[in-house]
Amino acid sequence: MEDMVLCASSAYEEKYYLNERFAGLPESIREELQIMCVLYTAEIGGILTLIFDEEGNLEFVTNSYEEDLLYDDIGSVLKIKQLRESKKELLESLEIYYKAFILGQDISELLE
């Protein structure tokens, strides 16, 4: 199985995308993801994509246009570190959800 996009936000198009495979997530979680991603791109710029890798780990992937002089590379690293700390519980829960419901792993093993 290849990487799967959870959601993405673009400062360039001012758009947010949630993969329809995750439409079944509780509304509060979908809203929290949207707020987190949109605030990131509003503050840092560029494009933020949250992707599950083949093992089900949630990765933050950032991109910017080469000619974008306003994109904050250093701020991006710091902001992602801050999000990983402040949203740790949410991100871990999303990984468990993905591993159990998308990858079909045994949930009892995931919760050990």
* Per-residue pLDDT tens digits for 95-104: 999 999 999 9
* pLDDT value of residue 60: 97
* Per-residue pLDDT tens digits for 1-36: 689 999 999 999 999 999 999 999 999 999 999 999
C-alpha to C-alpha distance for 112 and 108, rounded to whole angstroms: 7
Distances (CA, A) of 73 to 21, 27, 61, 106: 31, 31, 12, 38
Who wins on pLDDT, 68 or 86? 86
**Minimal CA–CA distance to 7: which of 83, 75, 85?**
83
